[in-house]
Amino acid sequence: MKTFKLGGVHPEENKISAAEAIEVLPLPAKVCIPVSQSLGAPSKVVVEKGAVVRTGQIIAKGESFISSNVHSSVSGKVTKIDDVIDTSGYKRQAVYIDVEGDEWEEGIDRSPEIIHDILPDRDTIIRKINEMGVVGLGGATFPSHVKLMVPDGKKAEYLLINGVECEPYLTSDHRLMLERGEEMIIGVKILMKALGVNKAFIGIEKNKQDAIVHLSVICSKHPGIEVVPLKVKYPQGGEKQLIKAVLNREVPSGKLPIEVGCVVNNVGTALAVYEAVQKNKPLIDRVVTVTGKSVAKPSNLLVRIGTPVSALVEFAGGLPEDAGKVISGGPMMGKALTSLDVPVVKGTSGILIMKGAESKRAAALNCIRCGRCITACPMGLEPVLLAQLSENQLFERAEKERIMDCIECGSCHYTCPAGRPLLDYLRLGKNKTGILIRNRGKK
Amino acid sequence: MNETVLFAVLSLSAIGVASAVILYFVAQKFKVIEDPRIDVVNEILPGANCGGCGLAGCRAFAEELVKTGDLSKLNCPVGGSDTMKQIASVLGLEAEEKEPMIAVVRCNGSRINAPQKVIFDGAESCAFAHALSAGESGCPNGCLGLGDCVVSCKFDAIYISPETGLPVVSDEKCVACGACVTACPRKIIELRKKGKKDRRIFVSCVNTEKGGPAKKNCSVACIGCGKCVKECPYDAITMQNNLAYIDYDKCRLCRKCAPVCPTGAILETNFPLRKEKPGEPGTEKVAEPVTAG
């Protein structure tokens, strides 16, 4: 069974909601759609207070190269354009809409019929993906059209589709592969066409055996697309780890996957691409896993962007009494929420409610130099050293020790028997080192 | 004496003498001529190597002083005016009279004023907490209380008060090197004039939110009402981004602004107690004088 060689950990799986079919969450009464929903510059609001919008109507335009459009996920009236508190408690600009009915923008094909014929024109495909605001749904929300514009002098050989879902607890990609596999594969074909490649691999961890079988059957009808079962190991969903696992190629430090002829996209993104190109449907909803050991009804929900997290928690049976933390994303890379009023955004892959006791961090003890973090690091770094350098503000040295290669997977923190907050210091160091490097470029 | 021994002794001595001669000439050739005044100036400096002057250490500062021969831009905050005068006399220059400065904490969001709403359990570092969250009280500008300023201070002049969770600057120990000012990710700490008898008035808030949201998270936040601006007879107070700021060059410590502030965001230190006017007791907002260190 294929996997990446260096480091990695195997956290307890807990895919509680794996058997729950995707349910459509009823429309909320109000939505609040943050303007900045992709990596890069925030988009500019193009609607005014009091305007009546329809589902799928553009409400914020991405103006710079790395930025994407934001569309209204419901139909109704814009009540205000104001700040909303995001996951970290900071304020971000957002559009508030009161829901009235469910009228869709004309031109959006809502029939369940699957359209197999693909436009041959590469530029039209990329333009459509850009217009429909498709971003990477794996969590980092990198605008998809940018990935498809291969820089001059580089050539894409393979398309890698990330169906690994290595985060424990999350099952949204798993359900998508099972329920929307047919459409997803067309999405993959569209991506292949846009990139000009004739080989695509779908990497799936073997704990999703049913998805592997299901997609393999579909793929047998589509030459050039192959399902690659992978050993269960975290963080295999990381771009660089996935490339290493599937193709045994190594992306050089500080470079993008295109350097070794690859483009990696998430399965959710492939489906969003299908909907955008074939059905003219902007990215206005996504599948979110709501789960946790004490959650009454763990589910996979199709949620409109902008729905408050509280509505999802309510649907899953309310907040359990012993809830300690509500995490947006998976337990390894997710972020604890400060409030349940936070809206679901394009990057929200799951809502995890952890029990009080297990959500507590262990007190940080002294480092015993066991070296487990070094063994666990999938990038071959020395987290213990980097954390010390960052704590002592020696960023020049940290840069030499390749701190910028850290993918923030948290494997080091997970394995540390002394409970040291290694990832926290690495993130801090990465941030400061990044500032240092950028300032150097200015001079 | 054995001939062999004699030969050995002589040849070794010859090598020694030859090496000495070579070394002497090499030393002459590569001699670095250093101004002897650098050593003198270095002696006068406090030797704390704190970086408050903006240079790497005291030696570097001494070199810079002698090299430029200009005292207008260089100042040792630790030594203060006396040290600078001494240096000026050595270099035959005139030292500018600089008023002593001190670090002040422009946040009063203590545990009571700004109650905790969420628990931050990441690394104990303000820089990290600032990057990740708006703070435990929800104020996006206020003190995080994780002590990056305490770590940065080489003079042991700042500590986190266990009651309020806010940093406290010791009047005696602070030398105004500015290390804490740089360390604070939220730009809460500021160098101000020490003032006569350590008396200072400053707005103890950096929140730029509008009145409502600011007050929601912290009862002593500046709400930008502008009452102090109207009250000040010396035009020392300006209002920017819903936040009042008292210019310490213009402020004459008349204390008129503090009583009109509806939230008590203006802090007075080391002033004698106000005479209570009959009919309106309890307007006192004098901060406790700092004694511990």
In the DSSP assignment, the letter for residue A51 is: -
In a domain, residue B31? The reply is no
**Adjacent-strand bridge partners of A85:** A91
pLDDT band at B282 (very low <50, low <70, confident <90, very high): very low
ipTM of the complex: 0.79
pLDDT per residue as tens digits for the range B95-142: 777 788 899 999 999 888 998 888 888 888 898 888 888 888 888 899
Structure tokens that stand for A245 in this block: 């696992």
Q: Which of A84, A327, A428 to mutate to test the interface with B (most CBs of B within 10 A)?
A: A428
Determine if residue B257 is labeled as part of a ligand binding site.
no
B182 and B245 fall within a common domain: yes
B105 and B86 fall within a common domain: no
Q: What is the CATH number of domain A22-108+282-357?
A: 3.10.20.600
HEC string of B139-180? CCCCCCCCCHHHHHCCCCCEEECCCCCCEEECCCCCCCCCHH
Determine if residue B218 is labeled as part of a ligand binding site.
no
All residues at 6 or more sequence positions from B233 whose CB lies less than 8 Å from its CB, including other chains: B254, B256
B62 and B106 fall within a common domain: no
**How high is the pLDDT of residue B275?**
72
Residue A89 corresponds to which amino acid?
Answer: G
B164 and B264 fall within a common domain: yes
- Inform me whether the pLDDT recorded for B283 exceeds 60: no
Q: Which residues of chain A have pLDDT under 70?
A: 443
Angle at A260 (CA atoms; ends A2, A192), nearest 5 degrees = 80
pLDDT per residue as tens digits for the range A216-260: 999 999 989 999 999 999 999 999 999 999 999 999 988 899 999
Residue B216 contacts A where some CB pair is shorter than 8 Å: no
pLDDT band at B292 (very low <50, low <70, confident <90, very high): very low
B159 and B229 fall within a common domain: yes
Q: What is the CATH number of the domain that holds B168?
A: 3.30.70.20
In the DSSP assignment, the letter for residue A104 is: B
B55 and B188 fall within a common domain: no
How many beta-carbon pairs below 8 A join chains A and B? 41
Q: Helix %, strand %, coil % for chain A, to 5?
A: 30, 20, 45
Conformational region of residue B198, where left means phi above 0, alpha means psi within -120 to 50, and beta covers everything else: left
Task: Classify residue A435 by burial, with Cβ atoms within 10 Å: 0-12, 13-18, 19+.
Answer: exposed
B201 and B119 fall within a common domain: yes
Determine if residue B261 is labeled as part of a ligand binding site.
no
> For chain A, which residues make up each domain, given as ranges?
22-108+282-357, 122-279, 372-442
| Set of chain A residues whose Cβ sits within 8 Å of the Cβ of B120 | none
Contact B142, B265 (CB under 8 A): no
Residues of A with a Cβ under 8 Å from any B Cβ are 85, 88-91, 335, 338, 360-361, 391, 421, 424-425, 427-428, 431-432
Split into its structural domains, chain B has a count of: 2
What is the rounded CA–CA span in Å between residue A202 and residue A184? 11
Q: Which CATH class is domain A122-279?
A: alpha beta
**Adjacent-strand bridge partners of A321:** none
Determine if residue A262 is labeled as part of a ligand binding site.
no
Contact A312, A344 (CB under 8 A): yes
In a domain, residue B23? The reply is no
| Set of chain A residues whose Cβ sits within 8 Å of the Cβ of B118 | 89, 338
In a domain, residue B180? The reply is yes
B175 and B196 fall within a common domain: yes
B148 and B81 fall within a common domain: no
pLDDT per residue as tens digits for the range B29-61: 998 888 888 888 888 898 888 888 888 888 999
In a domain, residue B278? The reply is no
The fraction of chain B above a pLDDT of 90, given in percent, is 36
Contact B78, B175 (CB under 8 A): yes
B47 and B155 fall within a common domain: no
B242 and B165 fall within a common domain: yes
What is the rounded CA–CA span in Å between residue B68 and residue B75? 13
Contact B129, B144 (CB under 8 A): yes
**H-assigned helices in A248-289:** 267-279
- Domain carrying residue B63: 37-91
B74 and B111 fall within a common domain: no
| Set of chain A residues whose Cβ sits within 8 Å of the Cβ of B123 | 421, 424-425, 428
Q: Do A427 and B127 touch (CB under 8 A)?
A: no
Q: What is the CATH number of the domain that holds B52?
A: 1.10.15.40
| Mean pLDDT for all residues in chain A | 91
**How high is the pLDDT of residue B276?**
63
